[in-house]
Chains A and B, each alone.
Chain A
Amino acid sequence: MSVLVLIDHEHGLLKQPSRSAVAAATKLGDVHALVVGQSVGPAAEAAARLPGVSKVLKADAAGYEHALAEPLAALLVALAPGYTHLLSASTATGKNVMPRVAALLDVQPISDIAGVEDADTFVRPIYAGNAMATVRSSDKIKVITVRAASFDPVAAEGGSATIEDAADAGNTGSSRFVSAELSKSERPELTAARVVISGGRGMQNGENFHLLDPIADRLGAAVGASRAAVDAGYVPNDYQVGQTGKIVAPELYMAIGISGAIQHLAGMKDSKVIVAINKDEDAPIFQVADYGLVADLFTALPDLKAELERA
C-alpha cells in the first residue's frame, strides 16, 4: 500500500505542517511525497530527506508556480490510481485543493483528521472541536487533510528517498494568479512556533499589538490574534487562531486580552501550557488556562517584558 502526501513548501523549505502530514501517512503505508511548483528542486531534495518517505514525485512546471487548485487537482487525480490514500496538511493549499481532488475521484473527503485508527478509520473534530467523531470511509481511495497540531512532525533530516519527475497534467486555464500580499515577519510561523503569544480585543488597537513584540522576540514566539482582533482590523487575517483560522498546539500559548470564545478555544486548546492575562476574572479563557493572571494587560505586558529580561 502506498500513500501520497502533497507537500507545502516555500523558498525551497518545507512547511512544518507537511512534516506532520507525513507523520500521519507513515501510519497508513509506504509514503511518497509530491512536491509541486516551479523550480522546486531544493524543496524536492528536502522532501527526500524526510524520514519515512521512500519516493519523491517532483512536478516542476510554470503552470504550478502558484499552487492554483485547478491544475494541482488535475495532477493529483492523474497520480491517484497508484495510491490508497492522498493526504495533505490542513493548510490553505491543502484545504483548497483536496476536496476538489476528492470530488473528481467521486470520494467523500475526510477533513482535518486528528487521529488514525486504521487504514479506513479516522478521528476528526466537529463542532469547533467540542466533539471528536470517529468515522470509517467506504471509499476505495481516501482523500484526507491532516490537522498538523495533532501529529508530531517527522524530523527534517534522516531519510534518503529517490526523486522522480511526475508528468505535467496540464492547466485548464480557467483561473489565473494575480498577486499576493504576504505578511513579512522574522518570527516563526504560527503553526510551527514553540511559543505563541496572541492578543485579543483587549489590545484595543493595532498599535498596541507592538507591546507583544519584545516578549515574542525574547521567547522566540509567533504572534497570533483572536478573531475579534482581526475583525476589528488590528492585525491581518493570517494572525487568526481559531476554528476557522489557524490551529496551533505550541509548548506555551499566551492569551492576552482574549475572552476565550468557543471558536478561539478550538484553535489553541491543545497547547501544552496555556497562560491567560485578562482583567475580567470571569473570562472563559481562565477555564482552560494552566496559569491565569487577572490584570490589566497594559501594566502586565511591560512588567512581563521587564521580568523576562531579568533572567
Chain B
Amino acid sequence: MKLLVPVKRVVDYNVKVRVKSDQSGVELTGVKMAMNPFDEIAIEEAVRLKERGIATEIVAISIGVAACQETLRTALAMGADRGILVETDAAPEPLAVAKMLRAIADREQPRLIILGKQAIDDDMNATGQMLAALLGWPQGTFASKVTIEGDTATVTREVDGGLETVALSLPAIVTADLRLNEPRYASLPNIMKARKKPIETMKPADLGVDPAPRLTTLKVVEPAKRVAGKKVGSVAELVEKLRGEAKVI
C-alpha cells in the first residue's frame, strides 16, 4: 500500500525563539530550522511499515517556502521514496494545508496518511484531524502504536487517562505521538542516495486551493516572565517558606 507523510519545516526544537521588537512575529532570520520532531516520528513509522513489507511506497510532502526542499531531502534520506513540494510564500494555516493534502491524496490514492500530531511552531495540533474530516476518513490521533492487518489499522492512542485503542477502516489518518518510535538518523550513504530521489514541485493553485489565512495575527508578545526566586539551604527551610511565606501548604 502507498503511504503519504506530510513534513513541516520548523524552528529547531533546541532554539529558544525571540519575539520581534515590532511584535509582528518571532525572529526567524538566521535561526536553525529542522523537520518538525513529530513528523520525523511519522516518517520513521512509515519506513518501518515498508521494512515490514506492509507499505510499498512512501511519498513525503512538504508545504511552504522553497527551503522546505531540505526537509523533504531529510525525509528521503530517512527512507521516503519520493517527495512533493507545494511551494508557498509563507507557511499556510492547517485548514489550507489540509485542503492541499486532500487534493494530493485524491491524486495519489494512499491507504494511510501518517502525520505528526502537532507542529512545534504554531502548536495547533489540527492538520491530521482536519485532513481526516475533508477526506471523510477515520482518524487515530496521538498514536503510540500502529498495527496494520488487512483493511484495518489498530491504533493505540495516548489520552488524558492513559491509553485507548481504536480500530480504523482503511484508508485512514494516523497522527504520531512521542512514544510511537524513536526516529533513526539518516546514514551518509542514504543522504547521498536521497539527492537522486525525485521531488515534484507544484503551487497551491495547481491543487485548486486558496492558501489565504483565516486568522490575522494582530501581535506576538513575550509571555509574562517568571523571575527566579531564592535558593533555600535545607528541606526544613523550604517547608517553612512554603508554610509561612507562600502559604501554599
Q: B residues 210-233 with Cβ under 8 Å of A?
A: 213-223, 226, 228-233
B228 near A308 (CB under 8 angstroms)?
A: no
Q: In which size bucket is the chain A interface?
A: 35 or more
The 8 A CB mask of B93-132 against A (1 = contact, 0 = none) is: 1110010000000000000000001101111111111111
What residues of B have a CB within 8 angstroms of the CB of A136 in the complex?
215-216, 218
B235 near A134 (CB under 8 angstroms)?
A: no
A135 near B142 (CB under 8 angstroms)?
A: no
A98 to B142, CA, bound (A): 14
A263 to B14, CA, bound (A): 10
* Of the residues A10, A109, A121, A137, contact of B94 by C-beta under 8 Å: A109
> In the complex where A92-B159, A179-B165, A304-B235 touch, is A132 in contact with B222 (Cβ < 8 A)?
yes
What residues of A have a CB within 8 angstroms of the CB of B141 in the complex?
69, 95-96
What residues of A have a CB within 8 angstroms of the CB of B98 in the complex?
103
Any chain B CB within 8 A of the CB of A116? Answer: no
* Of the residues B126, B157, B249, contact of A219 by C-beta under 8 Å: B249
B235 near A303 (CB under 8 angstroms)?
A: yes
B164 near A70 (CB under 8 angstroms)?
A: no
A283 to B232, CA, bound (A): 15
> In the complex where A175-B169, A231-B178, A291-B229 touch, is A237 in contact with B163 (Cβ < 8 A)?
yes
Any chain A CB within 8 A of the CB of B248? Answer: yes
Any chain A CB within 8 A of the CB of B11? Answer: yes
* Of the residues A91, A177, A252, A295, contact of B160 by C-beta under 8 Å: A91
A57 shortest CB reach to chain B, Å: 21
A108 shortest CB reach to chain B, Å: 4
A139 to B142, CA, bound (A): 27
A109 near B126 (CB under 8 angstroms)?
A: yes
A238 to B163, CA, bound (A): 8
A111 near B123 (CB under 8 angstroms)?
A: yes
> In the complex where A100-B129, A100-B130, A290-B229 touch, is A300 in contact with B216 (Cβ < 8 A)?
no
A291 to B228, CA, bound (A): 8
Which of B74-82, B193-201, B236-244 is near enough to bind chain A?
A: B236-244
B63 shortest CB reach to chain A, Å: 15
B244 shortest CB reach to chain A, Å: 12
| Residue of B161, B226, B243 contacting most chain A CB atoms (<10 Å) | B161
B235 near A174 (CB under 8 angstroms)?
A: no
Q: A residues 83-111 with Cβ under 8 Å of B?
A: 91-93, 95-104, 106-111
B235 near A307 (CB under 8 angstroms)?
A: yes
What residues of A have a CB within 8 angstroms of the CB of B160 in the complex?
91-93, 189, 191, 238, 246
B242 near A291 (CB under 8 angstroms)?
A: yes
What residues of A have a CB within 8 angstroms of the CB of B127 in the complex?
99
A99 near B126 (CB under 8 angstroms)?
A: yes
* Of the residues A109, A219, A231, contact of B124 by C-beta under 8 Å: A109
What residues of A have a CB within 8 angstroms of the CB of B248 in the complex?
195, 251-252, 272-273
Q: Which residues of A contact B (CB under 8 A)?
A: 10, 66, 68-70, 73, 91-93, 95-104, 106-112, 121, 125-139, 172-183, 189, 191, 195, 219, 227, 230-231, 236-238, 243-244, 246, 251-252, 262-263, 269, 272-275, 286-295, 300, 303-304, 307-308, 311
A-B contacts besides A109-B95, A121-B218, A307-B235, 15 pairs, CB < 8 Å: A73-B133, A99-B130, A100-B139, A111-B125, A126-B123, A126-B220, A132-B223, A135-B215, A182-B163, A237-B158, A244-B177, A262-B16, A290-B229, A303-B235, A308-B249
Q: Which residues of B contact A (CB under 8 A)?
A: 11, 13, 16-17, 19, 26, 38, 93-95, 98, 117-118, 120-134, 136-142, 144, 154, 157-169, 172, 177-179, 213-223, 226, 228-236, 238-239, 241-243, 246, 248-249
Instruction: Give me 10 A-to-B residue pairs in the complex whose CB atoms sit less than 8 angstroms apart, sorted by A's number.
Output: A96-B141, A100-B132, A103-B95, A103-B130, A111-B125, A132-B223, A135-B215, A135-B216, A175-B167, A291-B242
